[in-house]
Chain A
Amino acid sequence: MSVNDLDALEDLMRAANRGDQVSYHRVLTAITPLLRKVVHARGSALGREGCEDVLQDVLLAIHRKRHTWNEDQPLRPWLYAIARHKVVDAFRARGTRIELPIDAFAEGLPAADAPDPTTGRDMEKVLNALDPREADIVRAFGVNGETTAETAARLNMSEGAVRVALHRALKSVAKLRERMIE
């Protein structure tokens, strides 16, 4: 799906707000390249990993504040407002430890073990600081791609309890990241 497909994006987001996981996944996947561009345009001084961390902050903010989008308004201005707020925040907080982009120096070096450019660093720190069970649930869905049923079976929980646990874990993640930024 193209990001320019605005109607489709808003239809998907409305479906997402009614609990449609597949639509929500498609919205997040479609807007991420767009948001990455916004973050890079403003935040190139943060370095590549720093930018990806800010992008992940923006995605978390979109997730935690998605109910503040008015469903009869276009989605894109709302996305930009959230992204701008988070990028400015990141700059204010990280301004004191801006990293020099090493890409310029790295040119010509063998790219054999280049890290995945979409990996952030903050998230690992947050997951390590999180309650182990919460971190396990976030990793189960994110890294391992488990379904609710699989996680429920593995942890001997009901599916409803897994959903609540994931919801709470992501809330803790957002709060911890905020505290780390300060």
Chain B
Amino acid sequence: MKTDDLIAALAADTLPQPKVRAQVLRALPVGLAVSLLAFALFWGARPDLAAALSSLAVLKTLVPLATVGLAAALAMAQVHPATPRRLRGALLVAMLALVLLTLAVSLVQGGVSALVAALSTPSAAVCLLSIPVLAAPLLGALLWALTAGAATQPRLTGAVAGLMAGCLAAAIYSLYCDKDMVLFVIPAYSTAIALVVGAGAVLGPRWLKW
């Protein structure tokens, strides 16, 4: 087929393609509903939820949610080629640096023995298992929605989608988790989220191909 003939066929097709934002808004509520339903069935909110949310422990929910927002902004730039993304990337890195800095300060104050004590609880294993499970439907929905875009770095975009899914799942899980020490929350949540990031990075090249 001649290129001019292909152009004629393409030009005749003026039906709009679905926008990425529309696809995300379509898919994410479905994934979120599945995760929340699973959470309500198998986890449930901690009994002292109201008290926890009015203490500093609310950061367990708010920091992941803020990270979801930053990661979403980066992911949207990544699937729209030639969109400036340096600032969005920098904001996300700054957020991660802030979390790591908080962990470092707590570690200096408490020492490694405090870290070991904080993590020597069955809750650590529960956390490492729960967040990826709650994240799975979210990651599936996000990757599906992002296929509407044009990811030029599919592995990285998959990882950012994993970060979104993992942080959103962490925010949900935080409503159940009754461990509020920094030396538990940051290492355990971060490791669990990192597993989801890894899953996104593995799935990205295949799912986000175009």
Least distance between A107 CB and chain B CB atoms (Å): 24
Indicate if the CB atoms of B14 and A85 lie closer than 8 Å: no
In the complex, chain A residues whose CB is within 8 Å of the CB of B3: 32, 52, 55-56, 59, 118-120
Verify if B9 is at the interface (C-beta below 8 Å from A): yes
Contact among B4, B10, B12, B210 with A65 in the assembled complex (CB-CB below 8 Å): B210
Residues on the B chain within 8 Å of A20, using CB:
14
* B 1-46 contacts with A by CB, 8 A: 1-20
* Chain A CB within 8 A of B83 CB: yes
In this assembly, does B81 line the interface, its C-beta being within 8 Å of a C-beta of chain A? yes
Determine whether A73 belongs to the interface, using a CB cutoff of 8 Å to chain B.
Answer: yes
- Of B5, B13, B17, B81, the residue contacting A81 (CB under 8 A) is B81
Of all chain B residues, which has the CB nearest A165?
B13
Q: Report A33-55 CB contacts with B as 1/0, cut-off 8 Å.
A: 00000000000000000001001
Q: A176 contacts the other chain (Cβ, under 8 Å)? A: no
Query: Across the interface, do A68 and B10 meet the contact criterion of CB distance under 8 Å?
Result: no
Query: Could you say which of B14, B209, B210 contacts A64, with CB atoms under 8 Å apart?
Result: B210
Q: Is the CB of B14 within 8 A of A59?
A: no
Known: A28-B11, A59-B7, A166-B9. A118 touches B2 (CB 8 A): yes
A164 / chain B contacts, CB cutoff of 8 Å: 15
Q: Which of A32, A145, A163 contacts B15 (CB 8 A)?
A: A163
A residues touching B (Cβ–Cβ < 8 Å)? 16-17, 19-21, 24-25, 28-29, 32, 52, 55-56, 59-61, 63-70, 73-74, 77-78, 80-82, 84-85, 116, 118-120, 123-124, 127, 138, 141-143, 145, 148, 163-164, 166-167, 170, 178
11 contacts between A and B (CB under 8 A): A16-B14, A32-B3, A59-B3, A65-B81, A65-B210, A82-B150, A120-B2, A120-B3, A148-B12, A163-B15, A170-B10
